[in-house]
Structure 1
Amino acid sequence: MNLPSPGKHGIVLGPDPHHVGLARRWADRIARDTDSASFALITAVSELVTNAQRHTRSGDPGGTTTVVVERRPFAYVLTVTDNGPRPGPTIPVPRIEDRHEPLMVGGYGLRMLDALAAYWDWSGTAGGPLTVRALLERDSAPPGTVAP
């Protein structure tokens, strides 16, 4: 994906669950940072792409998920856009579920994003594509700068 800014990188993924691993490897190459900063970006990308594939039309045949990472001096801005909700009686939106069963499998993606991100939100229209945006701090200053 060609983007106008040299600090922005994007990828369009298909519905194949193996594309989550492709997204992780792509994010690792984009990060070019310390392991802890890379971990936050890679984990956030992995969880959001997984959510898009599991809960939206992005996981259906022909579906896509668009991931964009903008490298800023001390943070990454991550956006993940899906193809919108699957047909059904309700339109799901990203939310952190209250957990009453700590041993329950799955459902922790947004909770992990919430723990890793300095900020996150979502935007979209009812029945249309939805974008989750996250600000992930980088824990190291770029060469030649002084961390605050």
Structure 2
Amino acid sequence: MRPVIRIVPNRNAGGSPEPLPRRVTDPDDRAPLVLDRSCPVPTCHALAVPGRPEQASVLRARIAAVLPPATSDVAQYLVSELFNNAITHSRSGDEGGEVTVTLHRLPDRVQVKVIDQGPRRDDSAGPHMRPLDLEREGGLGLRLVHAQAARWGTFHDRNRTTVWFELDRPRTRI
């Protein structure tokens, strides 16, 4: 069975995106991290934090410290959303749980992965966009990622779930 990786391009041209379909988890499923061969060594940062709400500020501070403001503001916001989803919907929010965030600085983009400890129940659906319901509290986190990120997706690795996104770096004018 081939791994199923769902890559969702950003849709700036209006319209409501379709919810992501429920997927069968494949243990060999991996998120793509395509390295630019002209870049000798991409810069990577990783941080594992306890699955407690106050740790979101630790993650935001770390991102602010390693990214320029043009990219940092959006990255901080999206990481906060995904961290909150992880501690709300996965075992990472249980006693002793943790969330790992990795940030890869590549020449033309930044890729961020938020890795949780998997769903609380075996039968629960993985991360997916809910139908839009403005009367319901919550349910907008992945819609925000979809609207702000250049690319994003999800994958499962045994007992972990990863939601990743990429932000294109602004081009500098000469």
Letter in 2 for 1:43: Y
Q: Equivalents in 1 of 2:42, 2:131: separation in Å?
A: 40
Name the structure, 1 or 2, with higher relative contact order (CA <8 Å, separation 6+): 2
Alignment of 1:1-148 (within 5 A): 7-34=43-70, 37-87=71-121, 90-99=123-132, 101-125=133-157, 128-141=159-172
Q: TM-score, normalized by length of structure 2?
A: 0.70
TM-score norm. by structure 1 comes to 0.82
Percent identical among aligned pairs is: 31
Superimposed CA distance per residue, residues 20-55 of structure 1 (whole angstroms, 9 cap, x where no aligned partner) = 111111111121242xx2221111111111111000
Cα distance in 2, alignment partners of residues 33 and 140 from structure 1: 14
Q: State how far apart, in whole Å, the 1-side matches of 2:51 and 2:137 are.
A: 22
Code of the residue aligned with 1:114 in structure 2: it is H
**Segments of 4+ in structure 1 off by > 6 A?**
none
CA distance in 2, matches of 1:136, 1:81: 18
How far the C-alpha of 1:137 sits from its partner, in A, is 1.4
- The residue type equivalent to 1:118 in the other structure is A
Consecutive unaligned residues in structure 1, runs of 5 or more: none
8 Å CA contact 1:33–1:140 kept in 2: the answer is no
1:91 Cα deviation from its structure 2 partner: 1.9
- Show structure 2 runs of 5+ residues with no match: 1-40
Letter in 1 for 2:121: P
Q: Deviations over 1:51-93 (max 9, x none)?
A: 11000000011101000000112210111110011136x2221
Question: Over the residues paired in the alignment, what is the CA RMSD in angstroms?
Answer: 1.8
2:7 maps to what in 1?
Answer: none
